[in-house]
Amino acid sequence: MNWLPLWLACGLLTFAIRYSFIALEGHYRPPSWFVRWLPFVPIAALTAITVPELLLVSGKLAIGTDNPHLWAGLVAIAVAARWKNTLLTIASGFIALGLIRWVG
């Protein structure tokens, strides 16, 4: 199978979607409800990505001492809430996960 047409189609589609936002700048005004809710998109996306990683082990809900990702995530959340430093949050989560796995 020749993959070149598929790659070109995917590339053109990606370009068209991204370019549409640039081309419409100044010509389109989104509804006020959309603008009001737009700041919540990043936190919703981040939550949708991280929560399953923290709460699921082998596809099953694991809220207990046997889930090191959950405890390391809680450490990272606490660090983020206290110091609001991205690098410190990531480092604390990795260190906590490593320590939990090493001890357990």
pLDDT tens-digit series, residues 37-56: 999 999 999 999 999 999 99
Q: What pLDDT is attached to residue 19?
A: 95
The band of 104, judged by pLDDT with boundaries at 50, 70 and 90, is confident
Rg (CA), the chain: 21
Q: Look at residue 89 in the predicted model and tell me its pLDDT.
A: 97
pLDDT at 98: 98
Q: H/E element holding 60?
A: strand 60-61
Strand partners, 61: 56
d(CA 95, CA 72): 8
Mean per-residue pLDDT over the chain, rounded? 95
CA atoms within 13 A on the CB side of 39: 2
Of all residues in the chain, the percent with pLDDT exceeding 90 is 90
- Judged against a pLDDT cut of 90, whether residue 1 lies above it is answered with no
Q: What six digits make up the tokens of 25?
A: 């700048």
15 pLDDT higher than 90: yes
Which pLDDT does position 37 carry in this prediction?
A: 97
Q: Any idea where the domains of the chain sit in the sequence?
A: 4-103
Q: What is the pLDDT of residues 53-82, one digit of tens each?
A: 999 999 999 999 999 999 999 999 999 999
